[in-house]
Amino acid sequence: MQERSLQELRELMRSGLYSARTLTQMYLARIAALDKQGPTLNAVIEVNPDARTIADALDAERQATGPRGPLHGIPVLIKDNIDTADKMLTTAGSLALAGNIAAQDSFVAQRLRAAGAIILGKTNLSEWANFRSSRSSSGWSSRGGRTRNPYALERNPCGSSSGSGVAVAANLCAVAIGTETDGSIVCPATVNGIVGIKPTVGLVGRSGIIPISHTQDTAGPMTRTVADGAAVLGALVGLDPRDALTTESEGKFYTDYTQFLDKDGLRGARIGIARNFFGFHERVDALMADVIAVLKRCGAEVIDNTNLATTKHVREPEWQTLQYEFKAGLNAYLASVGPDVAVHSLADVIAFNEQHRAQVMPYFGQETLIASQAKGPLNEESYVKFTAEKLRLTRTEGIDAVMQEHRLDAIMAPTGSPTWVTDLLIGDRFLGGCSTVPAVAGYPHITVPAGEVYGLPVGVSFFAGAWQEPTLIRIAYAFEQATQARKPPKFLPTAAL
């Protein structure tokens, strides 16, 4: 079962050697052995008590009418900020949302169930998707505790989709779903040695996802291979009647992204190297030099120094708009939760946290929540100004401008640094990365394992303009097939320095 691709699992079920029930049992056993015991990864916050029953029904359906598609009978873990109308909670890792049983599936959960996937459980995350404190430690939540990196247990899994990244890396599931506002898919993907696909905002419906930003939020696949990510992405797309932004994806999405998998996909591709995202660690730079050599060897035309000059100006308008959007979005979400939930507004959350400070804030506070509460409505002049500024800097004067000037198919950069030692008191230590510009632009971004530094995974990123998932999948798949850089984790107590 370990390291099996979706194609291999499908073949095992088709042949009758495995069943959906068998796979479900095996993954649940591995979660019990590795996540709750053994190295205590703590990636899974809750398992679905109905998973076996769902698997039995899907096995019966396979026998009667055949599989629905590539995800039929496949166990999937999803992040605990994605609503599921079942016996599991949706809490964003927060004790304030204890008792939150969703009345309706999120669009993502609907699409997974329609595809025949088994929602195996919910994954731990950085509480409130890492939008609580400037000193937060990724992978820690007051409900779920601390998630550990399977490559070196003392080290951080990044976030906020921490549990999803760890679960895929450690083979606790076939595939997982994460969400990203800025880096929350690609960062845990790179430090856990897996593939992360952050789609164009609007490609995947966001209804039923506890929000941060309606201009930047998206869900996306976290998988061990590009092929698996492409298969999952095809199941997630579509028009969401509760998310108006998905209307922009009409005529631009594909229900089968595996058609773009091409081992020769780098030949003739024009790839720009964004050097302004390099330079934060010499060993990462050396690894990226090897990546560039592979790109050239596989027939890509590499255009160096295609830098995104506006990057240094993006942080402030992004930060300001996120606070406005978090307050508006969270208040709308909490207004619809059931009466058994203690909080129904951001102000309620802040008050709850203060009342339960010992359990909720033993290591870091909630200054980000407080700053967001102080913001006004979305029609304030400053919000409108900052939104226009961040889109100008990242789109028209950012990614769009660079790609048009150099006639690029994609931009390449290191996804981030090797992961740091977890420090609950001081917080995260990011050395560098490239997530912000494509995240703020709302453009697609794929990270693929590129190698290791002292046994710690490092990924390479490819990003491009809106709706360019097919091109990025083709490029990322060709690179992956040429390098086969992913190595499974060994659950070492510390990095091999």
Task: Say which amino acid occupies 83.
Answer: D
Q: Compute the distance between CA of residue 230 and CA of residue 261 in angstroms, rounded to an integer.
A: 8
Q: Compute the distance between CA of residue 444 and CA of residue 424 in angstroms, rounded to an integer.
A: 31
Strand partners, 218: 180
Q: Compute the distance between CA of residue 140 and CA of residue 422 in angstroms, rounded to an integer.
A: 10
Query: What is the strand order of the sheet 75-79 is part of?
Result: 44-47, 118-123, 75-79, 175-180, 218-223, 195-198, 445-453, 456-463, 410-414, 270-273, 301-303
Residue 94 is a catalytic residue: no
Closest CA to 115 of 265, 16, 256: 256
Residue 79 is a catalytic residue: yes
**Which residue of the set 94, 184, 213, 372 is catalytic?**
184
Q: Compute the distance between CA of residue 436 and CA of residue 48 in angstroms, rounded to an integer.
A: 34
Radius of gyration of the chain measured on its C-alpha atoms: 21
Residue 372 is a catalytic residue: no
Strands 410-414 and 270-273: parallel
**Which residue of the set 94, 137, 142, 160 is catalytic?**
160
Contact predicate 495/155, CB 8 Å: yes
Q: At a CB cut-off of 8 Å and minimum separation 6, what does 51 contact?
A: 24, 28, 75, 118, 119, 120, 121
Coil, helix or strand at residue 445: strand
- Structure tokens of 229? 């990510």
What angle do helix axes 346-355 and 315-334 make, rounded to 10 degrees? Answer: 90
- Which helix (H) or strand (E) segment holds residue 370: the answer is helix 367-373
CA-CA-CA-CA torsion sign (438, 442, 443, 448): positive
- Active site (catalytic) residues: 79, 160, 184
